[in-house]
Amino acid sequence: MTETQEIKKGLAGVVVDYTAISKVNPDTNSLLYRGYPLQELAASQSFEEVAYLLWHGELPDASQLAEFLRVEVSQRGLDASVKAAIDLLPTTAHPMDVTRTAVSVIGACDPNADDASPEANLAKSIRLFAKLPAIVAYDQRRRRGQEAVAARDDLNYSENFLYMTFGEVPAPVVVAAFNVSMILYAEHSFNASTFTARVITSTMSDLYSAVTGAVGALKGPLHGGANEAVMHVFDEIGEASAVGAWLDTALAEKRKIMGFGHRVYKSGDSRVPTMEASLRTLIEHYNRPDMQELYDALEADFVARKGIYPNLDYPSGPAYNLMGFDTVTFTPLFVAARVTGWTAHVIEQAASNALIRPLSLYNGVDERHVK
């Protein structure tokens, strides 16, 4: 390796492998899941159908969907071992730490954890998809001093998730917005957490280890934790009239404003208009024009000053806040959605595997010897 070789910090612009799961179409500024524009899927499909699509490559027919739902519903409960592990953790622990631990416990208790066949990995994927709502819901409830709410088998995925979190099924407009958010967060090609999962899989480790590692990567504020950071910014600003002064200070201090910018999108995140539309339905439902005013004011001022547009986390943060989720629960919601994409990539990586092991260019001291 020579000193003239170019370093691609963060692997920016480096194409490391093929994937048939998703792509950004630059001509339409659209994210495609298995060839389908994400906007079309969010407008017409349930999250369950989109999960099936990511794993199988095609949308399910009626019989396939019915069988998938039967399996998913049967595994919704909060396992005693997982609950016991969560109860050992302090309520001050970040929910992403709780989620990471819960996934690891599920893996440790699965006698087939090391079976990497496509059939076994698909079964594990569905298991995590089914169980994560109970984990996320219980952790929020325990931090509020509330007991766990048992899953119901007469509700769809989004209805049941919200029911286990809040003890009741909210209005259809809330369920619809939640379903859209899950679809939008489900998959996004070789992002940091997905690449983490693929790296772990490339070592021939198990799917649970790959997902556990991906959860850790998603916790960071430059990735999944950005939706939490957006809400902290909203709370800090308070109201629309304070945006200008707040931005003056934040930019003078060179603070990174989360919820804006994306390495992949140069003309704005293609997922934002769909989530913004859902956010507006929630603002109307909860009669919160103040939220809309703050949202619009911060976006307009920041874009005018920096020319950087919102990403998906910007509308998702206030949407989850209006639904009633604690800010620290936002990123575990991302986990519940992205586990579909992660596991689809694990299965794809395992099917055509090569150990992922990039090189580095040494810039330390020259060779020396112990005296």
* Residue tagged active-site, from 56, 223, 232, 285: 223
Judged against a pLDDT cut of 80, whether residue 4 lies above it is answered with no
Q: Which residues pair with 25 in a beta bridge?
A: 30
Average pLDDT over residues 234-247: 96
* Residue tagged active-site, from 139, 262, 269, 345: 262
Judged against a pLDDT cut of 70, whether residue 64 lies above it is answered with yes
Average pLDDT over residues 66-76: 98
Q: Which residues pair with 260 in a beta bridge?
A: 310
SS (H, E, C) 98-162: HHHHHHHHHHHHCCCCCCCCHHHHHHHHHHHHHHHHHHHHHHHHHHCCCCCCCCCCCCCHHHHHH
Residue 1 pLDDT level (bands cut at 50, 70, 90) = very low
Average pLDDT over residues 114-133: 97
Average pLDDT over residues 12-38: 89
User: Residue 171 and residue 122: Cα distance in Å, rounded?
Assistant: 33
| Mean confidence (pLDDT) of the chain | 94
Q: Is the pTM of this model over 0.85?
A: yes
Judged against a pLDDT cut of 90, whether residue 6 lies above it is answered with no
Residue 52 is predicted with a pLDDT of: 98
- SS3 call for 310: strand
Lowest mean pLDDT among 97-111, 174-188, 263-277: 263-277
Tens-place pLDDT, residues 201-235: 999 999 999 999 999 999 988 888 888 989 999 99
Is 262 in the active site? yes
Is 232 in the active site? no
Judged against a pLDDT cut of 80, whether residue 144 lies above it is answered with yes
Judged against a pLDDT cut of 80, whether residue 265 lies above it is answered with no
Angle at 91 between CA 316 and CA 131, to 5 degrees: 60
Longest dimension (CA), the chain: 75
The contacts of residue 361 (CB under 8 Å, 6+ apart) are: 1, 3, 5, 7
* Residue tagged active-site, from 188, 206, 313, 345: 313
Residue 268 pLDDT level (bands cut at 50, 70, 90) = confident
Tens-place pLDDT, residues 328-357: 999 999 999 999 999 999 999 999 999 999
Query: What is the percent of the chain with per-residue pLDDT over 70, rounded to a whole number?
Result: 97
